[in-house]
Amino acid sequence: MGKVIHEHILVCLSSAPSNANTIRAAAKLSRAFGGTMTALYVQTKSSDQMGAEDRQRLQRHTRLAEKLGASVSTVTGDDVAFQIAEFARISKATKIVLGRSAAPKGRIFAPKPLTEQLVELAPYLDIYIIPDTAGKNKRRPNPATKQRILPSVQDVLVTAGILTLSTAIGFVFHKLRFTEANTITVYILGVLLTALFTKNYVCSGISSMAGVLLFNFFFTEPRLSFRAYASGYPVTFAIMLFASLLTGTLANRLADHVKRSTQTAWRTQVLLETNQQLGRAEEEGDILEVMGDQLLKLLNRPLLLRCKNGMTIRRVPDGESFEDSADTPSQRFSFQSGGESFGELLIYGDALEPMESGILHSIFGEGALAMENRRNARQKEEAAVLAKNEQLRANLLRSISHDLRTPLTSISGNAQTLLASGAGMEDADKRNLLTAIYEDSIWLTRLVENLLSITKIDEGQTQLNMTTELVDEVIMESLRHIRAKTHVLETDFSDEILLAKMDARLVSQVIINLVDNAVKYTPEGSKIRVSAGKQGKRILVRVADNGPGIADEIKPKVFDMFYTGNTKIVDCRRSMGLGLYLCKSIIHLHGGEITVTDNTPKGCVFAFTLPVCEVTIHE
């Protein structure tokens, strides 16, 4: 198979009325070849002198190119053909589309048309010329350009001052008997200074010719006359004029290049800062704030930024108010990513320059991408939470299915034995079977209660029924629901009255779970001591045992959901890892803390705190 060539269409932007047809033709060509399209604008010295009508037309052409799928780029330089050819080479363009341009009539030394220059500079490219079929869409002369030909009063004064200073220095050199070459250098330096300190290019030309005339008038024999005796003076004057014009032209180009480079560097810095600040923005509001600040820094015009979520950002330059800009013309832009619109921007004032428009859309792209990334991150977080919940449900169902099977099998088996052989069994055997059925049913009841309590707490549906209770009474009532014939249960209460604000039903469930946990993980005959006492403004309840204890690396995990550890359970029932998690949740709802520590000389101690409730006795 042959190599597939990716077509890259380069279309040139201008303010000419026929440029819209050129852009549409380039878009059709791009679609026909299945390639990409770039719209290029070459910013020259005359771009700053562009009138309002031409500027608005250029802005419309830029929007049209973007609407048709082109990426807009701007380069600076006075040699338009060279800039287009160089950009085409760097961007690897394969075809160039531009409108027809003809050499001005009536000019002997008129430059070649742009199309001919491009053919010479880029002979390897296909160049498509779109004719102006309308014929009447010819650009009218820009009045502002005619006005800019005449220098301002300030430029005239600066030029006259530099020429006067140059002449004065020439008189000093003549007095000191310096050679004429030094005086010529002074006038050339004056031309260079004129080019640097004036804004009109005509001034440097005037300075060049005036410098030659002044040198001839004041410093050549006969002096104070435009005649010259020496035969070589005409050549000297011609070289001086040529050097002055060349120096002025180069100085003007250098000043213009410095100006444009500064603008480009500034706009690039704004774009880089935007990228960095958007990377630190966390919410959509922060993203809009960054975009508003950076667009104001770039454009220095009043602007209004609206987001689809209803948020509005207004920005105005210092010293202005947004109300003063409401009656001025506005331009509307939409920023979007992946076909989804995130909002719109209104800019008040004159039409944007092509480079400003390009960076504006770059900021739009960065902002829309940041919003899209933020939404994707939020969706990922929600998906992760959903996946975690699904995993918890799966673990819960797996644990329930495993843990319910043993007691249910035991209950059904014992009941079947009683039904089948109960009439001929001894009373003691019947009692043992009934006791086993009862204990298994109690275990199932507590398991279901734990599951229901955890579900309500995790979903925020638990409402505490807070009452003032005697702590020792709550503990004793809890121990009545525990059957631990194989263990020794002991209590140890303080002599003073211990009152706490609590939900007695939930705290009782905590005590039952802690004692049941001690029964499960300690051998028969172990002692389990439940004690309560006052500790500052807290009631401290402790459940201690003298069993094998808990390893230090396991202690931080014992209160996690579904954590069962590696400790062997004494009875046949497998733990689900819900009891201690429920205890922690209930105690935290009461504003207390629950901990596990080592007992002395062996075993472990589970302790939790409850707030003390002070009672005032009225005599």
Q: What is the pLDDT of residues 20-57, one digit of tens each?
A: 999 999 999 999 888 899 998 888 877 767 777 888 88
CA distances from 527 to 74, 539, 548, 558 (A): 86, 23, 12, 21
Cβ neighbourhood burial of 418 (10 Å; 0-12, 13-18, 19+): middle
CATH hierarchy code of domain 8-145: 3.40.50.620
Nearest CA to 615 out of 480, 471, 504, 448 is that of 471
Which tens digits make up the pLDDT trace of 231-256? Answer: 666 766 677 667 767 776 777 777 77
Task: Report d(CA 116, CA 300) in Å as an integer.
Answer: 40
Say which DSSP state 281 is in: -
Q: Where in the chain is the domain with CATH 3.30.565.10?
A: 459-611
Q: What are phi and psi of 129, to 5 degrees?
A: -105, 120
The predicted pLDDT at position 5 comes to 57
Please give the full DSSP string across 501-519, using - where no structure is assigned.
EE-HHHHHHHHHHHHHHHH
Q: For residues 619 and 528, what is the distance between their CA atoms, to the nearest angstrom?
A: 40
pLDDT at 605: 94
Instruction: Compute the distance between CA of residue 356 and CA of residue 24 in angstroms, rounded to an integer.
Output: 23
> Could you read off the pLDDT of 571-580 as tens digits, one per residue?
444 455 677 8
Q: What is the band of 597 on the pLDDT scale with cuts at 50, 70, 90?
A: very high
Give the pLDDT confidence of 173-222 residue by residue, as tens digits.
Answer: 888 888 878 888 888 888 878 877 777 767 777 777 887 788 778 877 77
For residue 533, the surrounding DSSP H or E stretch is strand 527-535
d(CA 502, CA 479): 18
Percentage with pLDDT > 70 across the chain? 80
Sign of CA dihedral 583, 588, 592, 594: positive
Question: Does 142 score more than 70 pLDDT?
Answer: no
CA distance 195 to 208: 10
Report the alpha-carbon distance of residue 350 to residue 576 in Å, rounded: 72
Residue range(s) of every CATH 3.40.50.620 domain in the chain: 8-145
pTM of the model: 0.45
Per-residue model confidence as pLDDT tens digits over 337-373: 656 677 788 888 777 776 777 777 778 778 878 888 8
Quick check: 415 pLDDT over 80?
yes
* Predicted pLDDT of residue 205: 78
Measured CA to CA, the distance from residue 437 to residue 311 in angstroms comes to 65
Can you identify the CATH homologous superfamily of domain 459-611? Histidine kinase-like ATPase, C-terminal domain (3.30.565.10)
Taking the alpha carbons at both ends of the chain, their separation in whole angstroms is 106
